[in-house]
C-alpha cells in the first residue's frame, strides 16, 4: 500500500512538472519570433517542394509531348514527300497524256495545230486552253486568206472524222489566191465580189493519190 502511494505521488509530481511548462504566450518574444520564422520557412519549403514537383512533372510531360510532336512531324514530312512525288508523277503523266492527245488530234492536219492546254514552263502547272495555230502562227494573227485556208483544213478534218462528205462555203473567196489548190472532198461554194450577175461555175480538179477528189461548184 505504501509502495502504491509512493508511485502515485511520483506520477502526480511528473504531471505537475509538465503542467508547469509555460504557455506559448509566456515564451520569450525572441523565441516566439524564431518559432514563427521556423514555421514560415517550413511552409515555404513545402510550397517550393510542391512547385518543384509540379515543374518537374510539367517538364517531363513537355519532353514527352515534344518527342511525340517530333515523331509526328517526321511522319508528316514523309507523307508530304510521298504526296509531292505522287503529284509530280501525276503531272508528268498528264503532260505525257496531253502530248499524246495533241499528236493524235493534230495528225489529221497538215498546217493546223490545236492546243488544248498550256503548260507553265516555270511551275509546270497545266491549264486548260483552246488555241488554234496555222503554220505556227496564232489564228488571231492570220490574214483573211490564211484564216480561210485554216478553216478549210479544219472543215475537211471534221468531215473525215464524221465519215461524211460535207459541202463547204467559202466567203471572200477573192482574197484567196489559188483557192482551188486546196484539197476538197465535197461540193465547194465560193463567193466572190464581182460587178456582174450571180453565176454558178462548175470546176473539176485533177485527181491524184494526194488529191483524190477536187471539185467545186
Q: Please report whether residue 98 resides in a domain.
A: no
* 3-state secondary structure string across 17-52: HHHCCCCHHHCCHHHHHHHHHHHHHHHHHHHHHHHH
Contact present, 205 and 177 (Cβ < 8 Å): no
Q: Please report whether residue 205 resides in a domain.
A: yes
Q: Please report whether residue 29 resides in a domain.
A: no
Q: Please report whether residue 177 resides in a domain.
A: yes
Greater pLDDT, 206 or 39: 39
Contact present, 210 and 204 (Cβ < 8 Å): no
Per DSSP, helices labelled H in the chain are 2-19, 29-106, 144-162
Q: Please report whether residue 155 resides in a domain.
A: yes
Distance between alpha carbon 167 and the CA centroid of its chain, in Å? 48
Asked if residue 7 has pLDDT above 80, the reply is no
Q: Please report whether residue 194 resides in a domain.
A: yes
Highest mean pLDDT of the ranges 43-47, 105-109, 133-137, 186-190: 133-137
Number of domains composing the chain = 1
pLDDT of residue 31: 74
Contacts of 43 (CB under 8 A, 6+ apart): none
Around 27, how many Cα atoms within 13 Å sit in the side-chain half-sphere? 10
Strand order in the sheet with 126-134: 112-119, 126-134, 137-138
User: Measured on CA atoms in the order 126, 127, 132, 137, is the torsion positive or negative?
Assistant: negative
Q: Please report whether residue 41 resides in a domain.
A: no
**Chain mean pLDDT for the chain:** 79
* Mean pLDDT along residues 38-66: 87
Instruction: Indicate the helix (H) or strand (E) that contains 115.
Output: strand 112-119
**Predicted confidence band at 73 (pLDDT cuts at 50, 70, 90)?**
very high
Q: Residue 203 sits in which domain range? A: 141-216
Rounded to two decimals, the pTM is: 0.47
pLDDT of residue 216: 39
Q: Please report whether residue 69 resides in a domain.
A: no
Tens digits of per-residue pLDDT, 8-46?
777 777 767 766 655 555 557 777 777 788 888 888 888
pLDDT of residue 102: 83
**Which residues face 126 on adjacent strands?**
119
Tens digits of per-residue pLDDT, 139-173?
999 998 899 889 888 888 888 888 888 888 888 88
Amino acid at each position: 500500500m505504501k509502495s502504491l502511494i509512493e508511485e502515485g505521488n511520483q506520477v502526480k509530481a511528473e504531471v505537475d512538472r509538465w503542467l508547469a511548462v509555460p504557455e506559448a504566450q509566456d515564451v520569450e518574444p525572441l523565441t516566439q519570433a524564431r518559432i514563427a520564422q521556423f514555421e514560415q520557412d517550413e511552409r515555404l519549403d513545402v510550397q517550393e517542394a510542391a512547385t518543384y514537383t509540379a515543374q518537374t512533372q510539367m517538364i517531363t510531360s513537355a519532353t514527352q509531348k515534344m518527342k511525340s510532336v517530333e515523331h509526328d512531324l517526321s511522319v508528316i514530312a514523309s507523307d508530304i514527300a510521298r504526296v509531292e512525288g505522287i503529284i509530280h508523277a501525276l503531272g508528268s503523266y498528264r503532260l505525257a497524256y496531253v502530248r499524246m492527245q495533241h499528236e493524235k488530234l493534230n495528225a489529221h492536219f497538215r498546217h493546223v495545230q490545236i492546243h488544248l492546254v498550256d503548260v507553265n514552263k516555270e511551275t509546270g502547272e497545266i491549264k486548260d486552253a483552246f488555241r488554234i495555230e496555222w503554220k505556227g502562227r496564232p489564228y488571231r494573227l492570220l490574214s483573211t486568206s490564211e484564216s480561210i485556208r485554216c478553216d478549210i483544213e479544219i472543215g475537211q478534218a471534221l468531215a473525215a472524222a464524221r465519215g461524211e462528205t460535207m459541202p463547204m462555203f467559202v466567203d471572200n473567196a477573192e482574197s484567196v489566191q489559188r483557192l482551188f489548190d486546196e484539197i476538197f472532198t465535197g461540193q465547194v461554194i465560193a463567193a466572190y465580189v464581182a460587178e456582174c450577175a450571180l453565176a454558178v461555175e462548175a470546176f473539176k480538179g485533177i485527181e491524184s493519190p494526194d488529191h483524190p477528189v477536187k471539185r467545186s461548184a
